[in-house]
Amino acid sequence: MNDSSTSEGLLTVLRGLVRELSPGDRLPSSRELIDRHRVGPGTVSRAIAQLTAEGVVVTRPGSGTYVAPRARRTDAVIDTGWQTVALADRSVDAQSLADSAAPDGAIRLDGGYLHRSLQPTRALTAALARAARRPDAWDRAPAVGLSSLRTVFATLADADVRADDVLITAGGQSGLSIAFRAIAAPGSPVLVESPSYPGALAAARAAGLSPVPVPIDEYGVRPDLLAEAFARSGSRVFYCQPTYQNPTGTVLSDERRQQVLAVARAAGAFVIEDDFARFLHHGGVVPRPLLSADRDGTVVYLTSLTKPAAPSLRIGALIARGPVLERLRAIRQVDDFFVARPLQEAALELLSSPSWDRHLRGLAVALRERCGALVNALPAGWEVEQVPAGGLHLWVRLPAGADDAAAAAEARQAGVIVSPGGRFFATEKPAAWLRLSFAATADVADLAVAAGRLR
């Protein structure tokens, strides 16, 4: 039994004991708990600390641990109907981002993060431990982020930018929210690829913006349709993922990269480049970002360590030049002052360690293997138009007449959780699609089992 399950087991026992005792009654001593339940002192200390934090027990040094006074409980129902009027029409739809509970034994192909088996857990633990030992680890961090970490992100961007152009954010989603609010006024349109990342659609709508879809093909967004969308909508911002796009895995072609920048410049518009998958390649050469060809501050660049490392490493970066950077900085500071320094220090330790490069090399091999395994195991009639060279997902077209929502529900009944394609479109969907993650399972064997259930 691991430490986590041992602690949970002791907590369950102690909670049951507290329910049987009266307020003021004394719990068994730590030594008695150790002997009775055959656990270590650390397990007992953690359990007592957890119950103390919950207000269930109180500890008296030199005396023992006692049941705390019962908290008053009420079953009265309060009337909150008035809030509907007070809140007005500013609802935030986060349903497309929520993780639904999976039935026992289900295999998740709907995740947006690496499975724990693919994360650099040891390197992360070591980095966080080194960061915590710094004498200034708990000091306030600069609002724009640690200078040394900004320097690293400027280097990783593979473009002619400086540390002063970098703003540290609490992950990619936070960066998206900041960028949309900084660039576009509420009520204005924002152009997005179609299909697009649901988190971007949700962030844009939460900022009061109206997503306007621009179709993509196997070479990325179509510049002719992008120019038409700018002209028709009057939008001043285009959000895109040029490299290993989510959900399709598409890479914007070199020719179109230049055209997209030219179209945006002609429209006097910004391009928000979400480079979330730069570290998620499957081997080979990764295209340089749009930022590398930007000479007049058109591109606002966003990247993050969350996808290639772990969900809770909420560290990202925005890179911009000109007045827009000051707007980004102001919103970043107003939101929550600064990103927690220990997390920034841990990110810096991780990126500066040789283990980071080793992790990325191993990750590329693992993702390529998983992607190929899932492609080869898909049911007949499920079409992958483009096998991605990077990223975490397959974009699968279902047979004509199929319904993606119904297919996802049926897959769930079979013990496989998938993402229906409708949530990736800002407006109507042109066909039935599913997004399948090949990075959210423990190993390749689970992918084979999942594909078997889908068949």
**Residues in the chain, how many?**
455
Interatomic CA distance for residues 274 and 177, integer angstroms: 12
**124-353 in CATH: which number?**
3.40.640.10
Whether 264 shows a pLDDT value over 90: the answer reads: yes
C-alpha dist (Å) from residue 375 to 145, 265, 381, 449: 41, 39, 12, 13
Angle at 218 between CA 217 and CA 223, to 5 degrees: 50
Alpha helices in 163-282 (DSSP H): 172-183, 198-206, 223-233, 254-267
Question: What's residue 146's pLDDT?
Answer: 92
Average pLDDT estimate for 169-187? 92
DSSP string, 348-371: HHHHTSHHHHHHHHHHHHHHHHHH
b/e 223-240 (16+ beta carbons within 10 angstroms → b): bebbbebbeebebbbbbb
pLDDT tens, position by position, 120-162: 999 999 999 999 998 888 888 999 999 999 999 999 998 889 9
Both tokens of 246, joined, read 């989510």
Residue with tokens 């007592």: 48
Question: What's residue 123's pLDDT?
Answer: 94
Among candidate residues 323, 307, 338, 381, the one with its CA nearest the CA of residue 165:
323
pLDDT tens, position by position, 94-117: 666 656 667 778 899 998 899 999
Average pLDDT estimate for 432-445? 92
Between β-strands 64-67 and 416-417, what pairing exists: parallel, antiparallel or unpaired? unpaired
Domains 3-67 and 124-353 share a fold: no
What is the average pLDDT score of the chain?
90
> Residue 215, preceding bond cis, omega within 30 degrees?
no
Quote the pTM value.
Answer: 0.84
Question: What's residue 182's pLDDT?
Answer: 93
C-alpha dist (Å) from residue 52 to 17, 46, 421: 14, 10, 46
**3-67 in CATH: which number?**
1.10.10.10
Question: What's residue 73's pLDDT?
Answer: 62
Helices 147-156, 341-351: inter-axial angle, 10-degree rounding: 40
- Residue 167 in 3-state DSSP? strand
Neighbours of 53 (CB within 10 A): 9
Whether 449 shows a pLDDT value over 80: the answer reads: yes
Decide if 305 contacts 316 (C-beta within 8 A): yes
C-alpha dist (Å) from residue 75 to 56, 72, 78: 20, 10, 9
Decide if 221 contacts 240 (C-beta within 8 A): yes
Helices 3-20, 30-37: inter-axial angle, 10-degree rounding: 120
Backbone angles phi, psi at 428, to 5 degrees: -65, 145
Question: What's residue 1's pLDDT?
Answer: 42
Looking at per-residue pLDDT, the higher value among 55 and 228 belongs to 228
% of the chain surpassing 90 pLDDT: 63
Question: What's residue 99's pLDDT?
Answer: 64
Question: What's residue 98's pLDDT?
Answer: 59
Question: What's residue 396's pLDDT?
Answer: 93
Average pLDDT estimate for 22-36? 89
pLDDT tens, position by position, 218-246: 999 999 999 999 999 999 999 999 999 99
224 contacts: CB under 8 Å, gap ≥ 6: none
Question: What's residue 3's pLDDT?
Answer: 52
% of the chain surpassing 70 pLDDT: 95
Both tokens of 312, joined, read 């809770």
Domain boundaries along the sequence of the chain: 3-67, 98-119+355-454, 124-353
**98-119+355-454 in CATH: which number?**
3.90.1150.10
Average pLDDT estimate for 415-444? 90
369 class by beta-carbon count within 10 Å (0-12 exposed, 13-18 middle, 19+ buried):
middle
Paired with 133 in beta bridges are: none
C-alpha dist (Å) from residue 190 to 104, 259, 430: 40, 19, 20
pLDDT tens, position by position, 283-299: 988 999 999 999 999 99
H/E element, 124? helix 121-132
First to last CA, the chain: 36
Looking at per-residue pLDDT, the higher value among 8 and 327 belongs to 327
Interatomic CA distance for residues 27 and 9, integer angstroms: 17
